């Protein structure tokens, strides 16, 4: 990393948790990721989900077809874990270099998770095979039991699943606790072994639950896991600012049309990727931890996945910018609203 008072150059970052959707939404949002990131872990929760090697190959081809011609962006594909996932199919996709990881959604925990896991015993054979071949498990870490308060679901998952049996029964399994939102999550990862990591989103470093609900409901700040109390936000900021290599960049950028967000039952998800890297930089600067920014954005993720870091660079300059407004979805008569649209940032990307 090279720095001057007004400029910051880092190795090109990767996004270790990204939703691209499909069709016109895919082609609309992908250029924003390709403009900043070398690679991204692409979530498989399409409808229907990506559950086989062949489906992942086909989806990867659609993504590559939408990559701008001047970009070397590489999508890293994942397998959607269901009650009926075949360990042999998972291993085949991994050994062939198609699947980078498997994604665990507890059934009905979040957007497009209806095909997710309904009973933990159904996935034990898959977890055992993944532990054996060194394949990472990416976890949406929330208990989906409707009797559990929505603000307590991450803590319940850590207690009932990760701590109670998963890390005990599969001690060598590589696990990423994605988009952590609580002090509980940060503490669990910090105290675990090197085979446990976590992604942290820009929005969970910036907003708390008051931002969603005070003065009226703000649907464009609604995501799952939902933002928590201010004490949890501060714990996340301390975690990323600490330099601990267990934490790495994952935007969980999740585009939904404005019509799908501003409705009686709005979708969970925040589209943050147009300015995510600048938001992260602002947070690290506010925490007086810019010396740890490059590792969080560019090294910790590749190290966890056993990959080389990118060779190119990305440069940010201390230039104020206004976050762009609504992005039209061609042919849909609707748009996508970016995170913090219309607000100002004190950093801008000036080049790769």
- Domains of the chain in start order, with CATH, are 15-309 (3.20.20.140)
Q: Give the tens place of pLDDT for each residue, 315-333.
A: 999 999 999 999 999 989 9
Phi, psi of 246 (to 5 degrees): -75, -15
Q: Determine the average pLDDT of the residues in 126-147.
A: 96
In 3D, which of 99, 112, 92 has the Cα closest to residue 22? 112
pLDDT at residue 179 greater than cutoff 70? yes
pLDDT at 113: 73
Q: Determine the average pLDDT of the residues in 18-30.
A: 97
Structure tokens of 132? 């054996």
Place of tokens 């940010």: 316
pLDDT at 276: 98
Q: Give the tens place of pLDDT for each residue, 216-231.
A: 999 999 999 999 999 9
Count of H helices and E strands in the chain? Answer: 14, 16
pLDDT at 260: 97
Mean pLDDT for the chain? 96
Query: With contact defined as beta carbons under 8 Å apart, do 249 and 199 qualify?
Result: yes
Distance CA 260, CA 253 (A): 16
- Band (3; pLDDT cuts 50, 70, 90): confident
Q: The whole model's pTM is what?
A: 0.96
Catalytic residue among 14, 15, 244, 252: 252
Reduce the DSSP state of residue 190 to 3 states and report it. Answer: helix
- Band (169; pLDDT cuts 50, 70, 90): very high
List beta partners, residue 175: 137, 196
Distance CA 324, CA 337 (A): 9
- Band (115; pLDDT cuts 50, 70, 90): confident
Q: pLDDT > 90: what percent of the chain?
A: 94
Q: Give the tens place of pLDDT for each residue, 231-285.
A: 999 999 999 999 999 999 999 999 999 999 999 999 999 999 999 999 999 999 9
Query: With contact defined as beta carbons under 8 Å apart, do 330 and 279 qualify?
Result: no
pLDDT at residue 208 greater than cutoff 70? yes
Cβ within 8 Å of residue 121, ≥6 positions away: none
pLDDT at 107: 86
89, 301, 206, 20: CA torsion to nearest 10: -40
Query: With contact defined as beta carbons under 8 Å apart, do 32 and 266 qualify?
Result: no
Q: Determine the average pLDDT of the residues in 101-128.
A: 89
Phi, psi of 98 (to 5 degrees): -90, -55
Concatenated DSSP letters of 40-63: EEEP---SS---SHHHHHHHHHHH
Q: Give the tens place of pLDDT for each residue, 35-70.
A: 999 999 999 999 999 999 999 999 999 999 999 999
Q: Residue 344: in which H helix or E strand, if any?
A: strand 344-345
Concatenated DSSP letters of 10-38: EEPP-EEEE---SHHHHHHHHHHHHTT-S
Which range, of 108-117, 211-220, 282-291, averages the lowest pLDDT? 108-117
- Band (12; pLDDT cuts 50, 70, 90): very high
pLDDT at 112: 64
Cis (ω within 30 of 0) for the bond into 59? no
Active site residue 83: no
pLDDT at 110: 73
């Amino acid at each position: 990393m090279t720095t001057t008072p007004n400029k910051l150059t880092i190795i090109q970052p990767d996004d270790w948790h990204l939703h691209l959707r499909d069709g016109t939404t895919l082609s609309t949002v992908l250029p924003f990721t390709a403009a900043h990131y070398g690679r991204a872990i692409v979530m498989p929760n399409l409808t229907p989900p990506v559950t086989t090697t062949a489906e992942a190959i086909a989806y990867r081809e659609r993504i590559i077809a939408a990559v701008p011609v001047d970009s070397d962006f590489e999508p890293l594909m994942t397998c959607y874990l269901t009650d009926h996932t075949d360990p042999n199919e998972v291993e085949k996709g991994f050994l062939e270099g198609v699947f980078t990881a498997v994604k665990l959604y507890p059934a009905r925990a979040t957007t497009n998770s209806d095909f997710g896991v309904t009973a933990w015993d159904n996935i034990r054979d898959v977890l055992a095979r993944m532990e054996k071949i060194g394949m990472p498990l990416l976890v949406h870490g929330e208990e989906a039991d409707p009797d559990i308060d929505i603000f307590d679901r991450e803590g319940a998952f850590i207690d009932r699943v990760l701590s109670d049996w998963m890390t005990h029964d599969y001690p060598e399994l590589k696990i990423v606790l994605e988009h952590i939102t609580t002090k509980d999550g940060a503490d669990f990862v910090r105290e675990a072994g090197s085979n446990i990591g976590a992604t942290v989103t820009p929005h969970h470093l910036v907003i708390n639950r008051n931002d969603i609900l005070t003065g009226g409901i703000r649907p464009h700040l609604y995501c799952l896991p939902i933002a928590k109390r201010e004490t949890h936000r501060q714990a996340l900021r301390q975690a990323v600012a600490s330099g601990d290599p267990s934490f790495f960049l994952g935007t969980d950028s999740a585009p939904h049309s404005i019509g799908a967000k501003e409705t009686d039952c709005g979708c969970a998800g925040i589209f943050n990727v147009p300015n995510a890297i600048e938001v992260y930089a602002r947070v690290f600067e506010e925490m007086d931890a810019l010396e740890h920014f490059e590792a969080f954005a560019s090294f910790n993720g590749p190290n966890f996945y056993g990959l080389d870091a990118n060779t190119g660079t990305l440069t940010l300059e201390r230039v104020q910018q206004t976050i762009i407004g609504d992005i039209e979805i061609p042919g849909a008569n609707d748009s996508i609203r970016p995170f913090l649209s219309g607000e100002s940032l004190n950093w801008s990307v000036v080049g790769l």
